[in-house]
Chains A and B, each alone.
Chain A
Amino acid sequence: MGAIAQLLVNTIVPGALFGLAAASFTLTHRVTKILNLAHGGVVMVGAYGYFWASRSGWGAGGGAAVALTASTATALLVALLVYEPLRVRATLSSIGNLIASFATLLVIEALLLMGFGSRTRSAPALLPTHRYDLGGAFITAHQGAAVIIAVCCTIALAVFLRWTRLGVAMRAVADHEEVAAVVGIDPARVRLWAHAIAGFLAGVTGVLLAGELAFEPRFSVSVAISAFTRSTIGGMGSIPGALAGSFLTDFAMNLWTWVGPTAFREVAALLLVILVLLFRPWGLFGRRPSGS
């Protein structure tokens, strides 16, 4: 019984955190058609921003504010310097964008390495350390808060997209940019908003991650790949899909660890995404594409 409860905890905690990362990743992809690998770097900018702020005497709230400002600014900067200029010449969903995002990820990672070094760092948890016992499984206060915050942010994002004017504008640009322009929406502005919001949420993920585990700049790449894997499994472009895909991935990985060799748990995630891409490319919650 305790083992099952722990399995659940071990699924929900990373599932929620990486689900938020995946949701913001998929937002960018939906609105701009770009697989933004630099997203992983932006998450780590949030983590390091929080780390730096807490070292410099800012409290948890202030530190988070610093981190979120840094991550949003980074995301916007990347959009302005790399993605928007590339739109002028590039075709949509092209390799150039992907390689550019990969290069940007590496640039961010290199800057973090130069600024903070390669040793792992940790930042103070948002809540004082206290472990709760849930039916035999242990969860820390920070982990619990992280799950709640991450899930709430993801739900808020889905609500935003569905019910607010800007959200509707984003969906319009996502579905058909030219028609959106015809009805008076400025696609460039909307895209920048999408990048900014994604950057903000990436920062939230970073802050939550920073308080939870020991991190180093090299995590940027694995966070980026995680975000991609989970949103693909859940269905690209779907916010609830990103969260669901994330939970499913962690569940699969934990199950694999339980029944098989611990070492290769990432194999579970890779197998899952390959199966999805081969047999149901639109993911669990994506829509089957009709026509173009």
Chain B
Amino acid sequence: MSSAYLIHLGITFAIQLILVGSLSFLFGGVGVPNLAHVSAVAVGAYTSALLSLHFGWPFSVTLCSAAVAGVVSGLFLAGLLRRVRGDYLALLALEVHFLTTTVLLNWPSVTRGALGLPGIPRPEGFATPLGYLVLTGTIAAAVITAYWAILRSPYGRVMAAVRDDETAALAFGKRAPSVRMTAFLFASAGAAVGGALLAHYIQFIDPLTFSIHLLALALAGAIIGGVGSVPGMVSGTAVIVFVPELLRRVATGNPDVAGALRQFAFALLILLVLLLRPRGLFGKIDVR
């Protein structure tokens, strides 16, 4: 196991931790199954990539811009989904996900469509793999700590109340819609930051990077670890990062099959968790 490989694993873990964590925060913290999560990731990635490619802005600026763009997309999405709950929210969100992919593919003047954005620069000062590991690790730790702090704060308890029984929360005078909106914004900001880190790591993004499979991966991580808890976020991310590495040992000649095998494994794991232990490894609530 070369150190280069370990560093790569570390960076992947850190980025996935942000993606899983933001979804888990929204889903487990306030009960919103945001299947459009990857849209916020894409918004962050494209924002940061485009700003650094076209204007040459430094990474610190593009990262913040990505977070802002994520918040704006979260505002828009939360507004759209304001009136719906549960299954319908999840499915509408999934439709928004597809809409985002369509927009990314069919707006070549901005996104270069299917050609994607190549040559995304590494941040100055953190260009080496090890440097990037330090950067992503630090940002991931900061984001997760922020989520942890919110979840265990009094506000986190209000979020949990809205999640568990919105009517009761309203009866107690808690402004449920704005609680959900705020959680949405925090989650979208995190997802966008993760997207930006992803873009500057792999240095090439196209609409297919932000596919349903990225969503399935994040969802698997959130559910397997257990939504709404930080140990859940970490353990779930560990599963989704290390299972593919294990699967790599399964020799398959056909590259199609390798990807499909991974999808099969994650989807099956989600099913097993839902059937046998809906709480996941460390979850606060059952995904019922």
Name, among A114, A117, A222, A264, the residue most crowded by chain B CB atoms within 10 Å (CB to CB): A114
Please name all residues of chain A whose beta carbon is closer than 8 Å to the beta carbon of B287 when the two chains form the complex.
Answer: 95-96, 99
Render A79-102 as a binary contact track against B, CB cut-off 8 A, 1 for contact.
000100110011101111111101
Whole-angstrom distance between the alpha carbons of A29 and B215 in the complex? 24
Q: Is the CB of B256 within 8 A of A113?
A: yes
Whole-angstrom distance between the alpha carbons of A232 and B102 in the complex? 21
Name the residue on B nearest A108 (C-beta). Answer: B267
Whole-angstrom distance between the alpha carbons of A264 and B103 in the complex? 7
A 102-123 contacts with B by CB, 8 A: 102-107, 109-111, 113-114, 117-118
- Any B CB within 8 A of the CB of A225: yes
Name the residue on B nearest A217 (C-beta). Answer: B260
Q: How far is the CB of A44 from chain B (nearest CB, A)?
A: 13
**Listed A/B pairs (21) with beta-carbon separation below 8 Å:** A35-B87, A82-B275, A85-B275, A93-B86, A93-B87, A94-B288, A95-B87, A95-B90, A95-B287, A96-B278, A96-B288, A98-B87, A100-B275, A106-B264, A113-B259, A114-B257, A114-B264, A222-B98, A225-B91, A263-B106, A274-B92
- Any B CB within 8 A of the CB of A196: no
Whole-angstrom distance between the alpha carbons of A99 and B220 in the complex? 10
Render A198-225 as a binary contact track against B, CB cut-off 8 A, 1 for contact.
0000000000000000000000011001
Size of A's binding interface in residues, CB under 8 A: 45
Q: Is the CB of B267 within 8 A of A277?
A: no
- Any A CB within 8 A of the CB of B146: no
- Any A CB within 8 A of the CB of B212: yes
A99 with B260: in contact, given A35-B87, A273-B95 (CB under 8 Å)? no
Name the residue on A nearest B211 (C-beta). Answer: A218
Tally A-B pairs: CB < 8 A: 125
Name, among B84, B96, B259, B287, the residue most crowded by chain A CB atoms within 10 Å (CB to CB): B287
Q: Is the CB of B33 within 8 A of A277?
A: no
- Any A CB within 8 A of the CB of B64: no
- Any B CB within 8 A of the CB of A270: yes
B 226-271 contacts with A by CB, 8 A: 254, 256-257, 259-261, 263-264, 266-268, 270-271
Name, among A85, A95, A109, A264, the residue most crowded by chain B CB atoms within 10 Å (CB to CB): A95
